[in-house]
Structures are given as C-alpha cells and as structure tokens.
Amino acid sequence: MNRLLGFAMVWLAVMGSITFGVGESGGDRVMSLVAALPALGYFGFRCAREIRGIKEGNRVARTRREQRKLMGRDELLDAVTRLVGRGPRSLECGVAGHAAGHMCLGVSEDVTLADLVEGISGRHGSPRNLAMGGYADPTVDATTGLPLLTPFGTQVVDMRAWAYGSWWIGAGTVDSGDGVRRVVLVAERAEPVVEGLPADASWVERVVAVTGWAGGGRVRTIDWAAVEDRLGTALPGDYKQLAEIFGDGAFDGFLSLYVPDAGVPGMDVVDHAEYLARFASREGTRLWRPYDIHPAPGGLLQWGTSVQADEFYWLTEGDDPEAWPLLAREDIPDSWCRFDGSAAEFVFRMLTERGHCFSTARYFDTHWFQTYSS
C-alpha cells in the first residue's frame, strides 16, 4: 500500500511538473517545483530505505553464510567424506593468504579437538601425530603429511593426520593471535613413488613404497618364537616383516592384517587361529570345503580379512612356510581363489593390478595403509 501511494505521489509530481513547467512565467516554474517537492522527498526517503535494506540484507546473508560454514562434528565428518570421495581434483581454500592445494572447513566453537579426532578416526583409523603443544615434528615431509602444516606455518599448535587415497585429512589447533582455534582441512596427497626402487626390491619394500608408509619410524618388536610355538608352525618371513612394519590395520582401508598382539579385538593372528580350530573341532569344516583348518595337516591358517568379510589364508602344505600358497575367498561359498606367491606379493598386486581378483587399483590410484592402533 505504501509503495502504491508513493508511486501515485511520484506520478502526480511528474504530471504537475509537466503541467506547470510548460508555462512561460517564473511563477509557473516555481509552482512546478513546489508540486514536485513532496514526491521528490518521498522518492529520496524510499531510496535511502532501500539502500539500508540492501546493506542489511547483505549483512544478514553474510552472517548466515558464516554460520553455515561453521559446522558441528557430524557436519564436518560428512563434509570431509564428500571431499575425499570425489576423486582427484584441485582444491582451492577460501581462507585469505592460503595457497591452493587444500581446503579448510569451518569448525564450530562447540567442537573440541578430541571430538574431531574421535570422529575422523572412526572412519579413517588412528591418526599420525604431526604436531603437539606447538611443536611440529621436524621430520614431516610431503610423504608424511606436510601439506597439512604448510597453510598455517608457525601458528600450528596440534595436528593429527590421516591418509586416504589422494588426500590428507587433518584436524588440529592453530594460534592466529586471537586465541587458539580448531581447524579441519583436506589437502592433496602426492602419489607415493615406486618406480625408483631397485629391480631386486623385496615385495615388502614395494608395499611400503606404494603405500607411502612411514609408520612414525617405528618397527614393532614381536616374540616370533612364542607366536610360532603357540601356533605349532613357523610363519613366512615376509608376513613377519609386514606385521612388524605395519602392525594391525588395513591396506587401502580394505585388507586387514591379523598380527600378534593386535590392539583391536579379534585381529590377533594366534587368538583367531585358536578360535577357528575350536570352531572346526566342534562344528566341522564344511564352511571351508574342501579344506581343513590348521592345525590339521595342510589346513588353512588365516592371515587377513577385508571390510567385505573376504578371507585370506595360507594353505599350510609342507614344512616350508615360504612355499605355502595363498587361498582367498569372498563371503560366499565356493569362491576360492589360489595365489602362488607370498602375502606381501599378494598385497602389492592387489594394490597395483586391476586384474587382481581382489583389486583395489580399480578404485584408487594412490594407496595407503590405515592403522587401527597408535
């Protein structure tokens, strides 16, 4: 209604201006101006009001955008999953002064670093620790998570890192001068270099190279004599190296190792072997036809599983574990796949060959190891 009144006043002013403006005398011109003044005043008032409305609308919209960018824990987890699930692409960060190659996500003040670490770990395993208490690990490089530290420089207080395909995922805290705040970011991860390995590199060395695994520089100490005594058999040497270097976790988040003294329930290689032996003695071995279960002569001894319940075994034929073939199957009957090679070779070919029966190369160009325990 107010706008209609305003338009009417403007129309009257215009018509009055035309009517009086055609006169030749100065009085006509004065009357024309007087007739136009109310409409011109109203017009100015409406313009000022519209300008204030536009400014206010922009401020509200900007505030709403900022509120949308500050996400709670579950929103952040979903945003990270969307980013790393869309395949290799270049990322542009919207934070002033940050270069390309990563994207920072807004973190609500209600979310703690512990919340973030717990949530991301639930999807991507245990993190690597790149910085703590304002001290960044000086050995961190591009292969171990440096792209997560670079955007913040000396402002980094804490940073945890997870690898996933072509991406680094980071969660931490930075001190920008206005107090310590939480940060979550996704950064591009360079493909680990494998081509430079010597021709006689072992399969274990190739697995380490293709996953870019550093493992914090630690190698687990395992009492293999005690392990093999409990199992009643020696174990292949390359498997022992995998267990010592990687520990419990999953290659490409898919194939999980059973290892001694696993930090995750149900993933201990000895405990699991004893469980299967008890089950087979009580229920029979029909679930593994036509094979028996260790410690039966030539029985199956499981060394791995997958997120899709696939199973990976040694066929313990003969006294030399280095000559044991591998048997793998999907979670369906009669789907056995035989592989005449070592566990490390099986893993490497799974990661790099699209024709492998359990290939992850069909889904990922860049590979990683997701650890389950720190």
Q: What is the pLDDT of residues 309-366, one digit of tens each?
A: 899 999 999 889 999 999 999 988 778 999 999 999 999 999 999 999 999 999 998 9
Rg (CA), the chain: 34
Region at 185 (left for phi over 0; alpha for psi -120 to 50; beta for the rest)? beta
Tokens of 78: 């979903």
Q: pLDDT tens digit string along 195-211?
A: 778 888 999 999 999 99
pLDDT digits (tens, 9 = 90+) for 126-138: 898 999 999 999 9
Backbone angles phi and psi of 270, in degrees to 5 = -75, -50
Q: State residue 373's pLDDT score.
A: 67
Structure confidence at residue 11 as a pLDDT band (50, 70, 90): low
On the question of pLDDT at 217 being above 60, the answer is no
Task: Name the DSSP letter for residue 268.
Answer: B
Structure tokens at 239: 């498997």
Give pLDDT, residue 27: 61
141: CB partners within 8 A, 6+ apart: none
- The band of 28, judged by pLDDT with boundaries at 50, 70 and 90, is low
More confident site: 23 or 115:
115
Q: What is the pLDDT of residue 141?
A: 87
> Which two three-digit tokens encode residue 336?
């056995």
Instruction: Write the burial class of residue 293 (CB in 10 Å: 0-12 exposed, 13-18 middle, 19+ buried).
Output: buried
For 91, the token pair is 């990322």
Burial class (CB in 10 A: 0-12, 13-18, 19+), 217: exposed
- Specify the pLDDT at position 156: 95
The model's pTM is 0.74
Greatest Cα-to-Cα distance within the chain, rounded to the nearest angstrom: 124
Quick one: tokens of 96? 């002033």
**Quick check: 64 and 147 in contact, CB under 8 A?**
no
- Helix, strand, coil percent content, the chain, rounded in steps of 5: 45, 20, 40
- The pLDDT value recorded for residue 68 is 47
Q: 92-106, 158-172, 219-233, 310-324 — which is least confidently predicted?
A: 92-106
> How far is the first Cα of the chain from the last one, in angstroms, to the nearest whole number?
69
- Containing 76, the helix (H) or strand (E) segment is helix 73-84
How many other β-carbons are positioned within 10 Å of the β-carbon of residue 120?
Answer: 24
**Nearest-angstrom CA–CA distance, 249 and 202:** 21
**Residue 237: its pLDDT value, please?**
97
Number of H helices, E strands in the chain: 10, 13
